[in-house]
C-alpha cells in the first residue's frame, strides 16, 4: 500500500481511536515483515479499520471533509444554470454555474428548512455524478428560493412568517470551498478552516505533467459505474500496487511487464504509476497514470483518458465511477478510429474492474472474519 494513506491514517486514528475502542483491545500497529535489506512487506491495517462503522464516520469527517476532493469537470458545466450533483462519502453537494455571475459556486445540497435537495440527487445510483440544468436555486421540497450568487435565502412561498435578521441568515445555503485544477478539474473542500493549502499548491509538480496534455481538447464520451462490496481502503490498497496483476489480471499481465510495475509516492499527496509495455516493437504512447489522495485516479493518453472516482457509500460498499474522454479532431476518419479505441478501452476497463471487484470482495470477507 502507498505510504500516503498509512501516514494520514496513523495521524487520524492515533488521535481519535480512544473514541472508538480501548487501546488494550486493538492497536493501530501495522506488522511489517522484512523480506530483504531493501524491501519491506506491508500487511493490511488492523481489520476493524476496514469494517467498523465508527471508523468510517471518522473518515468522513477527518479525511473526506478536510481534504480537497475531486467533484467533476468544468467542460460539462458550460451553460448558465448547469449543475453537477454528487454525493461524496455521504455528503450531498452540488456545483452550479450561476445565471447571475456566470461563475461556478458550490453548496451542500441541503435546504436549511427541512433538508430537502436543491438540485436532484442520483439516488438510483448511490449519488454518483448527475448533470443537469436549473434556472433557479429552488428547494425540491417546499420551493424555498436562494440567491445563486451566495446562497442567501430569497423567498419562502406560502410561508407567512417574518424572519428576524439572524433567523434568516442561519437559513442560507451552506457554501463549499471550490478550486479549479489544471483548468478543468473541479475540487471541493468541505471544511470550515479558512487558511488551507490550495489544491494547485499541493499538486503543483503534477500540474506541469498534466498540462503537457491538451486537456481542453478532450470530450466526454461515456461513463461506467461499478458497485463493489468492500471498504474503500480495500479497493484503494489494491489500486496502489501492481503486485497482484500477474495473479488477478491475466490479459493486463500480457500487455504490461508487471514485474517492473512502479508506484512512486509524491509528498504523500499523489502517486505516479508506471509499467513498461510488453510490446517492444512499437514506441509506447505517451501516458500519465496518477492517483490523487484520497480517492481519484486519472489515466491520461494522447488520444483519450479516463477518470476513476472512488466513492465510499458505507463502511463496506464503494462505488467506482468511470468517465471516459476522447481527444477531439476535425479529421472524421481519425475521430471514428478514436471512438473505436475508446469503446475497446471501456471493454478492457470493465474486465479489469470485474477482476478487481472479485478479489477485493473476497479480501473484505476475510477482513470481516
pLDDT over threshold 90, residue 135? yes
Which pLDDT band holds residue 32 (cuts at 50, 70, 90)?
very low
10 Å CB burial of residue 34 (0-12, 13-18, 19+) is exposed
More confident residue, 89 or 285: 89
10 Å CB burial of residue 237 (0-12, 13-18, 19+) is buried
Q: Which of 81-85, 276-280, 347-351 has the lowest mean pLDDT?
A: 276-280
CATH hierarchy code of domain 203-368: 3.90.380.10
Residues 350/224, Cβ–Cβ less than 8 Å: yes
| Helical axes 232-239 vs 332-368, angle rounded to 10° | 120
Q: Which of 9-13, 68-72, 108-112 has the lowest mean pLDDT?
A: 9-13
Please give the pLDDT value at position 35: 43
User: What is the overall mean pLDDT for the chain?
Assistant: 89
Please give the pLDDT value at position 148: 96
Query: Pick from 252, 231, 250, 240: which is nearest to 312 by CA?
Result: 231
pLDDT over threshold 70, residue 33? no
C-alpha 163/C-alpha 107 separation (Å) is 22
| CATH number assigned to the domain with residue range 69-190, chosen from the 4 options 2.102.10.10, 3.30.70.20, 3.60.21.10, 3.40.190.80 | 2.102.10.10
Average pLDDT over residues 89-94: 97
Q: Tens digit of pLDDT for each residue in 18-28?
A: 444 443 344 44
Please give the pLDDT value at position 83: 98
Please give the pLDDT value at position 164: 81
Residues 231/51, Cβ–Cβ less than 8 Å: yes
pLDDT over threshold 60, residue 10? no
CATH 3.90.380.10 intervals, the chain: 203-368
Average pLDDT over residues 7-34: 48
Q: Tens digit of pLDDT for each residue in 161-214?
A: 888 878 888 899 999 999 999 999 999 999 988 788 999 999 999 999 999 999
| Helical axes 232-239 vs 3-16, angle rounded to 10° | 150
Q: Tens digit of pLDDT for each residue in 211-234?
A: 999 999 999 999 999 999 999 999
10 Å CB burial of residue 291 (0-12, 13-18, 19+) is buried
More confident residue, 110 or 28: 110
pTM above 0.85, yes or no: yes
CATH 2.102.10.10 intervals, the chain: 69-190
Amino acid at each position: 500500500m502507498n505510504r500516503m494513506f498509512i501516514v494520514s491514517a496513523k495521524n487520524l486514528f492515533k488521535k481519535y481511536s480512544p473514541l472508538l475502542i480501548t487501546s488494550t483491545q486493538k492497536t493501530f500497529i501495522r506488522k511489517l515483515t522484512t523480506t530483504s535489506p531493501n524491501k519491506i512487506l506491508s500487511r493490511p491495517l488492523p481489520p476493524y479499520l476496514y469494517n467498523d462503522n465508527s471508523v468510517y464516520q471518522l473518515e468522513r469527517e477527518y479525511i473526506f471533509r478536510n481534504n480537497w476532493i475531486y467533484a467533476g469537470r468544468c467542460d460539462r458545466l458550460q451553460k448558465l444554470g448547469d449543475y453537477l450533483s454528487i454525493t461524496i462519502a455521504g455528503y450531498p453537494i452540488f456545483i452550479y454555474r450561476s445565471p447571475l455571475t456566470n461563475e461556478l459556486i458550490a453548496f451542500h445540497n441541503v435546504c436549511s428548512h427541512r433538508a430537502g435537495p436543491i438540485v436532484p440527487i442520483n439516488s438510483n445510483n448511490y449519488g454518483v455524478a448527475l448533470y443537469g440544468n436549473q434556472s433557479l436555486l429552488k428547494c425540491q421540497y417546499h420551493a424555498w428560493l436562494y440567491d445563486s450568487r451566495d446562497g442567501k435565502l430569497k423567498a419562502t412561498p406560502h410561508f407567512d412568517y417574518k424572519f428576524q435578521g439572524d433567523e434568516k441568515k442561519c437559513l442560507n445555503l451552506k457554501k463549499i470551498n471550490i478550486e479549479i485544477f489544471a483548468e478543468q478539474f473541479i475540487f471541493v473542500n468541505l471544511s470550515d478552516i479558512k487558511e488551507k493549502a490550495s489544491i494547485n499548491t499541493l499538486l503543483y509538480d503534477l500540474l506541469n505533467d498534466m498540462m503537457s496534455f491538451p486537456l481542453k481538447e478532450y470530450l466526454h464520451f461515456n461513463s461506467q459505474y461499478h458497485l463493489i462490496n468492500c471498504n474503500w481502503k480495500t479497493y484503494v490498497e489494491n489500486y496502489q500496487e501492481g503486485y497482484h496483476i500477474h495473479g488477478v489480471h491475466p490479459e493486463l499481465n500480457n500487455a504490461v511487464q508487471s514485474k517492473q510495475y512502479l508506484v512512486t509516492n509524491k509528498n504523500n499527496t499523489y502517486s505516479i504509476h508506471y509499467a513498461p509495455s510488453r510490446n517492444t516493437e512499437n514506441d509506447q504512447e505517451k501516458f500519465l497514470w496518477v492517483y490523487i489522495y484520497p480517492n481519484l485516479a486519472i489515466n491520461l493518453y494522447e488520444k483519450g483518458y479516463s477518470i476513476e472516482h472512488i466513492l465510499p457509500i458505507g463502511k463496506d460498499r464503494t462505488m467506482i465511477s468511470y468517465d471516459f474522454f476522447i481527444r477531439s479532431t476535425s479529421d472524421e476518419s481519425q475521430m471514428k478510429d478514436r471512438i473505436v479505441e475508446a469503446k475497446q478501452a471501456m471493454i478492457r476497463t470493465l474486465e479489469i474492474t470485474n477482476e478487481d471487484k472479485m478479489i477485493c470482495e473476497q479480501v473484505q470477507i476475510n477482513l470481516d472474519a
